[in-house]
Structure 1
Amino acid sequence: MKDILRRAKAYLRVCLLLLSIGCGKEEKKYVSVDNFSAEISALYNDYLAKAISNLDKIDLEKTTSSDRKKYYGNARKYFKLVEPILSYSDKNNYKSLNAPNIIQVKGEDTQDTRILNPIGFQVIEENLYEEQIDTVTLTRAVNVTRDRLKLIKENNNLKLKDYHIIWMLRDQIVRIATAGITGFDSPVLSQSLLESIYTYNTIIDIIKMNEGRFQSKGIMKDFIGAIQNAQKDLDYDFDTFDRFGFIKNHTDKQLKLLVEIQKDWKVTFPFEMALSNTMTTLFSKDALNIDYFSDQLSDTTKLAEKVAFGKTLFNDKSLSKDYNMACATCHIKDLAFTDGRKTFDANQTRNTPTVTYAAYQQSFFMDARSGSLEGQVVGVVKNHNEFNMSMDSVVNRVLKNDSYKKQISELYNDEKVNYNIRHAIASYIRSLNTFNSKFDKNIRGEENTLTEEEKLGFNVFMGKAMCATCHFAPVFNGTVPPNYVDTELEFIGVPASKDTVNAKLSADLGRYELFKTPERKHFFKTPTVRNSAVTAPYMHNGVYSNLKEVMDFYNKGGGAGLGIENDYQTLPFDNLNLSEKEINALIAFTKTLTDAEY
């Protein structure tokens, strides 16, 4: 189950965000932009009204198929035009309206499990373009989507300050680079490049509305010019679009200019969200605020010493019952903190995942049963096949070590010893995010050593192969940018063996084992692809020995492509139709994500 601390942290963030959006008395140090709020509200309402109007025209009895598709296209256009504002001001409704056409499972952690049928534009799109339309499903999707947009419009009460505007713009720039250009939410039409042009139009509108705030008109001109140059390059074929060049030449330039804008406006931020307030490149350890992913948002005093203490504990076998196992026993540094085995021993059923970049998640273990790294440590300690201890026993052993006892006193003032042992280990794991791979250095412009094959591999990963619709850049895991609130679980149909003729689904039920929700059978958390060239074997059961086998599995369409019948597979395709050249390029790109050091 999710940790109580995780829920408390989430509650704190909600409260802070509500305060930042204007509840209660405004602090004088933050500049109000009421005029801007009025202008953006008018734009917001206009786009919502036009989306609603076009959805209203989709009548299965009175319109032709061609007209229905035209009205849907118009509605989708206005939805994308409103996206930068809606996704910031009403995150939950935006998420619902832009969700994939798969059922949603809510409330498992609070024992209030609800199964929700999807709504929104992806549901409409997929049903509208079926040869045989399911009129009931399509009608419901159109009506519910339209009514949700009406409700949003009726409750529009935007109150924006200068830092809200910067957050809004940064979110959208990152959303375009990490989801917009990948086809994440355009499953049938694959028109995400065009839709990214639309969302950029709204960014330009927002900047022009705020022209009076600029001290330097040159910065404003440069930023608008950078957006327009990006729009020109987006006018391209989806499968062959150069996403590497786009992020390197456009996204990072926009991020740098946005920092210049906030300096020009003299913006003061009340706190940081997931994206750093000063990020100037997408692929950097400074791009994401690591504290956002931690329960202890303010526990950064003497952090270097805590990391060093955590590293010592991570490597200490005395924390296990028989003094024969440490965290490092399974998480071996030279293998990017994996162990090179299908499973650690015969009693375990799951492959050892890397802990590099593990910090950038909102849930832990392959079935997402823990809500924090600190909570994950408890699971390892109590597991009979791992440490086989209680946390009280671990505390006793730590306090019997004079050096450890001294560090607990000096670093944590002897408070909450149980938790702070875990915090030290978690702090060490949170330090294992170097972003110093060959790929990172190249896309940041520090090197020019990527081969054409490696660049092609990244472009295929982010585009045609749709890998990035589950493994989101820059971490390439399942935590969804730009808000990083959700870490996704997927059912991809991993087989029990390599037998592709008589393929059988792996017996591991994954997330289902926690709450017995039938719709969660065989669901597992999406891991990072970083360092995967040295973390074989692959999948939760270690079924595949090399990256070639992994690519073949996905190219066939996952479990469904192997003939494994299921109702809930979440892969957004039947098969990928990748060429041998593209598969080899994907593998070549993946190898560039190996860190220079761990």
Structure 2
Amino acid sequence: MKNIFYYLLLLLAFSNTTNAAEQLTEAQLGQILFLDTAFSVNRTMSCATCHEPVNSFTDHRENTGRKMVSLGDDKSSLGSRNTPMAAYANTSPSFHYDDLLKEYVGGQFLDGRANTLADQAMGPPLNPVEMGLPDAETLVKRLQENPFYVATFKRLYGEKVFEASPQEGILPAFQGFANAIQAFENTEQFASYDSKYDRFLKGEYELTVLEDLGRTLFFSNNNVNCNSCHLLKTEDSPKEPFTNHQYRNIGVPSNAELISLGHLKADFIDHGLLENPAVSAPKYDGKFKNPSLRNVAVTGPYMHNGVFKDLRTVMEFYDHYNNPERTINPETGKPWQAPEVPQTVDKADLKAQALTDRKIDALVAFMKTLTDKRYEPLLEASQK
């Protein structure tokens, strides 16, 4: 990671300002904080380390051979979950229980334990297996080491931001840190809506025959049932996030390769939504937030534990519930493993028509059209 002032100079060049501390917006401050390694214990890791802007804000480092989980600042700690894509995370509402849907909705992280993007931004710096700072006070001291941050925080959040008492248990400067990152994550850099699909809706791109078949299948209620979890608006609505922000257990197996790394117990089970302190009912065991399908073709591996490498494997996994001929995992050459949490699998949402190989190819082709324009070269690179 380059020195933080390199990024500051870029912002200055872009905005043509002469005094960054006086001119920077909250979102621009958030961008600098997002890229700064000063907020990890050994000063080697930033938010962008695990959410790389050039890779749709996912972690593409070769941490585990298959990029299943992220490596911490200490160069030895590993997570237990595949790092979620930060792009389009700003489409999620705060975590809540919807009385009409009878479902938990929204939040950040795969279990929704952070209500907002600001709440989420507070987590990694203090997580011992991620950025590893011992407490929020240490982060605030790191901010105060930098005169630019001191001046900017005082202008944006008040002259006494570094002196004020904690509000609801949170230091004001730490809250400012989180608010700035949230402001950055709410910019178009994280949600550009300029994929081939978006251009198709505007009449600027013509879908291929295969892509159009995939689109038809995706939106159909009589075929694959994708839209029961990955559709928020009506068919072909603009700025569709391709997730309903709800939680499901689709029967994902545990990842033996991940467990073999040795940082998890052999009988490790990820309980998903039940790991959220706000949730206690056993019926939510093993449910995870439905991810956005935006940029899905360039953000593998897939599922909460990175158990599947290829997008086509994911489609075959879904199909194996309805297709008696789809018995073998193409990545292992062995039968599909049992679900990690079998008792709460959402079987109704998985019920669909069996798919032919051509229909699977069509669905994958359609999902590739959800790739933001700036990431389309990643598609081309993966096909070489």
Scaled by the length of structure 2, the TM-score of the pair is 0.68
2:306 aligned to which of 519, 536, 542: 542
Q: How far apart in 2 are the matches of 1:498 and 1:450?
A: 39
Partner SS state of residue 309, structure 1: helix
User: How far, CA to CA, are the matches of 1:590 and 1:557 in structure 2?
Assistant: 21
> Counterpart of 1:330?
50
Match of 1:442 in 2: 200
Q: What aligned pairs does 1:215-230 form with structure 2 within 5 A after superposition?
A: none
1:180-579 maps to which residues of 2 (within 5 A)?
305-340=25-60, 341-345=67-71, 347-362=78-93, 363-389=107-133, 390-414=135-159, 415=161, 416-431=172-187, 432-445=190-203, 447-463=204-220, 464-473=223-232, 474-479=239-244, 487-497=245-255, 507-515=269-277, 516-557=280-321, 562=336, 564=338, 566-571=342-347, 572-579=349-356
Distance 1:426 1:368 in 2: 16
Judging changes above 3 Å, is the alpha-carbon distance between structure 1 residues 403 and 492 closer, same or farther for their aligned structure 2 residues? Answer: same
| Native 8 Å contact 2:153 2:173 kept in 1 | yes
Is the alpha carbon distance of 1:401 and 1:419 closer, same or farther for their aligned partners in structure 2, counting shifts above 3 Å?
Answer: same
The DSSP-based 3-state class of the residue aligned with 2:270 is coil
Larger Rg: 1
Tell me the TM-score normalized by structure 1: 0.45
How many Å separate the matches in 1 of 2:37 and 2:286?
33
Tell me the distance in 1 between the aligned counterparts of 2:219 and 2:241: 10
For residues 498 and 579 of structure 1, do their structure 2 counterparts lie closer, same or farther at Cα, with a shift above 3 Å needed? farther
Shift of 1:323: 0.7
How far apart are the structure 1 equivalents of 2:273 and 2:195? 32
1:536-572 Cα shifts (integer Å, max 9, x gaps): 11111001111110100111129x9857373322252
CA contact (8 A) 2:224 2:352 kept: no
- The answer (yes or no) to whether the contact 1:554–1:575 under 8 Å persists in 2 is no
CA distance in 1, matches of 2:350, 2:43: 48
Distance 1:475 1:388, change over 3 A: farther
Cα distance in 1 between the residues matched to 2:48 and 2:81: 17
Measured at CA, do residues 550 and 506 of structure 1 come closer, stay the same or move farther in structure 2, by a change above 3 Å?
Answer: farther
Change in CA separation of 1:405 and 1:443 when aligned onto 2, cut-off 3 Å = same
**Shift of residue 533, structure 1, vs aligned partner:** 1.1
Measured in 2, the distance between the counterparts of 1:556 and 1:304 equals: 52
1:351/1:539 contact within 8 Å kept: yes
- Looking at structure 1, the residues matched to 296 and 40 of structure 2 have their Cα atoms a distance apart, in angstroms, of 28
Cα distance in 2 between the residues matched to 1:328 and 1:440: 26
Offset of 1:435 from its aligned partner? Answer: 0.3
How far did 1:507 drift?
Answer: 2.3
Q: Distance between the aligned counterparts of 1:549 and 1:322, measured in 2?
A: 38
What percent identity do the matched residue pairs reach? Answer: 32
SS of 2:183's equivalent in the other structure is helix
| Residue identity opposite 2:68 in structure 1 | K
Distance 1:317 1:563, change over 3 A: closer
* Deviations 1:8-58 (CA, angstroms, capped at 9, x unpaired): xxxxxxxxxxxxxxxxxxxxxxxxxxxxxxxxxxxxxxxxxxxxxxxxxxx
Look up the match of 2:18: none
Q: Which amino acid aligns with 2:343?
A: D
Distance of 1:303 and 1:581 partners within structure 2: 54
How far has the Cα of 1:498 moved from its partner?
Answer: 8.6
Q: Is the 8 A contact 1:554 1:576 kept in 2?
A: no
Paired residues of 1:537 and 1:545 also in contact (CA < 8 A):
yes
- Shift, 1:425, TM fit: 0.6
Residue deviations 1:186-230 (CA, integer Å, cap 9, x gap)? xxxxxxxxxxxxxxxxxxxxxxxxxxxxxxxxxxxxxxxxxxxxx
Partner of 1:247: none
Amino acid at match of 1:437: S
1:497-547: per-residue Cα shift (whole Å, max 9, x none)? 499xxxx99821112233453212111111111011110111110011111
Q: Give SS of 1:597's match.
A: helix
By how many angstroms is 1:573 displaced?
3.3
How do 1:572-587 and structure 2 match up within 5 A? 572-587=349-364
CA contact (8 A) 1:471 1:477 kept: yes
Q: Secondary structure of 1:586's partner?
A: helix
CA distance change for structure 1 residues 314 and 439 in 2, over 3 Å: closer, same or farther?
Answer: same
Distance in 1 between residues matched to 2:24 and 2:350, nearest whole Å: 45
Distance, in Å, in 1 between the alignment partners of 2:202 and 2:218 is: 18
Q: Deviations over 1:49-100 (max 9, x none)?
A: xxxxxxxxxxxxxxxxxxxxxxxxxxxxxxxxxxxxxxxxxxxxxxxxxxxx
Preserved CA contact (<8 Å) 2:247 2:290: yes
Q: Secondary structure at the match of 2:114?
A: coil
Distance in 2 between the 1:592 and 1:467 partners?
16
Query: Which secondary structure state, in structure 2, belongs to the residue aligned with residue 352 of structure 1?
Result: coil
The answer to whether the 8 A contact 2:70-2:82 is kept is yes
Aligned to 1:203: none
Aligned length: 284
Q: 1:303 to 1:536 in 2, by over 3 A?
A: farther
Letter in 2 for 1:427: A
Query: Which amino acid in structure 2 is aligned with residue 366 of structure 1?
Result: L
Q: Is the 8 A contact 1:343 1:349 kept in 2?
A: yes
| Distance (whole Å) between structure 1 residues aligned to residue 314 and residue 353 of structure 2 | 13
Matched residue, 1:289: none
Q: Is the 8 A contact 2:274 2:285 kept in 1?
A: yes
